[in-house]
């Protein structure tokens, strides 16, 4: 059973490769977005905002108070992809 929405959405993708990434980060975006459709949304035109970041081994970046899911991704085996879907495409842009 699927619960696909037809509302505008935002997607956050954090990619944690095992080593230095050989390809371009943008190559994984379409694959992930297409894979979530039609399970989470009906049409990829509903995606109004995409935030993508890669975190390669050896490049230190710390998160302040990560969610449980993000923490599992940070500490778990690599490669890993963290995906967050929000029904508020402008949540990070509001003052």
Kindly report, residue by residue over 83-94, the tens digit of the pLDDT: 999 999 888 776
Q: Closest by alpha carbon to 83, among 39, 22, 21?
A: 39
Q: How far is CA 10 from CA 23, 40, 59, 64, in A?
A: 24, 12, 26, 21
What are the residue boundaries of the structural domains of the chain, listed by start?
Answer: 9-87
Kindly report, residue by residue over 48-64, the tens digit of the pLDDT: 999 999 999 888 788 89
- Averaged pLDDT for residues 19-24: 88
Number of Cβ within 10 Å of residue 10's Cβ equals 20
Using an 8 Å Cβ cutoff, are 89 and 8 in contact? yes
> According to CATH, what is the number of the domain 9-87?
3.30.429
Model confidence at 95, pLDDT cuts 50, 70, 90, reads low
What pTM, to 2 d.p., does this model score? Answer: 0.87
């Amino acid at each position: 059973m699927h619960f696909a929405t037809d509302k505008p959405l935002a997607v956050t993708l954090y990619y944690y490769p095992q080593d230095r990434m050989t390809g371009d980060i943008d190559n994984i975006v379409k694959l992930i977005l297409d894979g979530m459709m039609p399970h989470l949304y009906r049409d990829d035109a509903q995606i109004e905002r995409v935030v993508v970041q890669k975190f390669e081994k050896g490049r230190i970046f710390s998160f302040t108070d990560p969610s449980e899911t993000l923490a599992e991704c940070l500490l778990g085996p690599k490669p890993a992809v963290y995906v967050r879907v929000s029904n508020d495409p402008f949540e990070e842009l509001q003052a």
